[in-house]
Amino acid sequence: MDDKIDGNATRKETHCHESPTIYIPPLNFAPIVNSSQDIIYRSGFPMPLNYPYLLNTLNLKTIIYLGDKVDLLPQYTEFIEKGEYQFHHLLMNSTTDKNIQELMEEMLELVLDKRNYPILIHSNKGKHRIGVAAGIIRKILQGWSITGIYQEYGIFTGNVKGEMDLEFINSFCVRNPLKVDPKFLPSFINFET
């Protein structure tokens, strides 16, 4: 329908179109590795408002949760099932856990198999626990300097120093043989197998 304006000109009636879907990534979401072949993301615990983003844009295959929640929320469990993700819950409170060495080595084994890609590794807030995991990936697999690792850790924690976390990253080395198939190693790694 046309409306008359100033007697001569007309204005076409405009219709509102549906807004495009707005995708909201999880708290502290960022790539750890973003190569053409291998992608690892980090974040805080995904909430229902983040599910469309994760389900529709990232093509995730594997989710690794580094956290202290034993009982997962029903919505989160449904999200995992809907996405048909491989899910690994590595029960972790902090770097003072007695089994932290084994947990980080298990995380590395998952990351060292490109059949698991793309991967999302998350903790509750996307700060300290995932900061430790990212730091270990950076140190062991990518050859980053400790200075760079500390700087990245500070960005995600708001420069709240997790002295125990940083000390753990600094002293971490793989102590047990990792179960790795050389033909499935990701392309980004920077070490000799």
Domains of the chain: 21-172 (3.90.190.10)
Mean pLDDT of 74-79: 96
Report the DSSP beta bridge partners of residue 63. Answer: 87, 120
DSSP, res 37: S
* pLDDT(39) > 80: yes
Task: Name 177's Cβ contacts closer than 8 Å, sequence gap at least 6.
Answer: none
Task: Name 28's Cβ contacts closer than 8 Å, sequence gap at least 6.
Answer: 42, 43, 44, 125, 126, 127, 130, 156
Full-model pTM: 0.86
pLDDT: which is higher, 9 or 193: 9
Is the peptide bond preceding residue 118 cis, with omega within 30 degrees of 0?
A: yes
Angle at 44 between CA 91 and CA 61, to 5 degrees: 75
* pLDDT(193) > 50: no
Q: Are 67 and 123 in contact (CB under 8 A)?
A: yes
pLDDT: which is higher, 155 or 70: 155
Give the pLDDT confidence score for residue 6 in this predicted structure. 54
Rounded distance between C-alpha atoms, residue 58 and residue 164, angstroms: 33
**Kind and range of the H or E element at 177?**
none
Helix pair angle (128-136, 163-171), 10° resolution:
20
Give the tokens for residue 91. Answer: 């029960």
- Predicted confidence (pLDDT) per residue in 78-126, tens digit: 999 999 999 999 999 888 889 999 999 999 999 999 999 999 999 999 9
Backbone phi and psi for residue 64, each to the nearest 5 degrees, phi listed first: -115, 120
